[in-house]
Amino acid sequence: MPLTDMPLEALEEYRPAVREPEDFDEFWEKTLAAAGESPESLTGAEFRAVESPLRTLDVLNVRFPGWGGQPVAAWLVLPRGAAGPLPAVVSYVGYGGGRGLHTEHLLYASAGYAHLVVDSRGQGHATPDPDPVPTPQYVRGFMTLGAASPQDHYFRRLITDCARALDAVRAHPAVDPGRLVVQGHSQGGGLALAVAGLVGDGVAAALVDAPFLCHIRRGAETAFQGPYTEIAEFLGIHQGMPPETVLGTLDYFDGVHFAPRATAPALFSVGLMDPVCPPSTVFAAYNRYGTAGDAAPPHREISVWPYGDHAAGRHAQATEQFRWLGDRGIAPDRAPEEHPAPH
């Protein structure tokens, strides 16, 4: 996979002028407030134990109220026998996927963290997306689902679910509510960045790998593998819809606008040969991270993988994450190897 974007020296200085919606903060304040006002949203999260072949981890099947109080599925994976309360990693899932099977999510709990894996409505199989789409949809995917208005767009509902997931995981007695880490790769990275920007002090750290939904306008022009390509395909079909209508809608869900509002330390990653999320889209958000307001910006780092594609650092990035979280003081009080071994 060849280099198709800027050289690293240019990426490190890349701070494009971006058009932020004038009512961006008001839009999200009203959206999140409404999500907590429905009668369904007051029921709280439900945790049910799952039978599992795992010998060192406990698994709970979770339902919590998201957008409109609609139930969102998640897994909560806990180290068996660990002394709580534990720091928790809240993971969001890549594009087109859901929470999957609980046996797919062993890494963070094996390292001693509580781990909440959030399903993506309409993408996973456990959380439907019942809200209607008022715009024509002839393009497979979610980028243009509700493209005519930010109030109707799919990502308004999904990002709301992701923010509400923090309320859910705080409710479990094994979790330390002061040590919540948001994490994700690709779409999951974009969602983690959005939550970090929306929730502020409610997040202790953010792990943002090869994030999607960042500098969407540039992604639509430069990415040559989806999902950004859905935008051009949609506009090519719906010639009567002004491009600015679609792009203006997507501005409300763009990481370049969430990033400045974040206050938690963050570790990003990027692959310089990424055809899905071009490196310039990642650096556009990273270089703006934590820059809003008068306070000193939070600590941020980025792991650059020169020959990485959209997988960026792959599993090597996890080693960087655990080191980095330890340096921030966000580590389990008791190491996993101290747990009794199964017989």
- Calculate the alpha carbon distances from 147 to 53, 96, 136, 243 in Å: 43, 18, 9, 10
Is 149 assigned a catalytic role? no
Identify the three-state secondary structure at position 244: helix
Beta-ladder partners of 209:
185, 269
Residue 247: exposure state from Cβ atoms within 10 A (0-12, 13-18, ≥19): middle
Q: Which of 105, 185, 238, 310 is catalytic?
A: 310
Beta-ladder partners of 116:
76, 90
Identify the three-state secondary structure at position 105: coil
Tokens representing 14 are 């890349």
In the block, which residue shows the tokens 């690709």? 186
Whether 161 and 169 have beta carbons less than 8 Å apart is answered as no
Q: Which of 185, 269, 274, 280 is catalytic?
A: 274
Non-local (6+) Cβ contacts of 264 within 8 A are 196, 200, 201, 203, 204, 205, 206, 298
Q: What is the maximum span of the chain, computed from C-alpha positions, in angstroms? A: 66
Beta-ladder partners of 117:
75, 91
Is 274 assigned a catalytic role? yes
Q: Which of 41, 186, 269, 280 is catalytic?
A: 186
Closest Cα partner for 247 from 226, 222, 219, 227?
Answer: 219
Is 310 assigned a catalytic role? yes
Count the neighbouring beta carbons within 10 Å of the beta carbon of residue 4.
Answer: 15
Residues noted as catalytic: 186, 274, 310
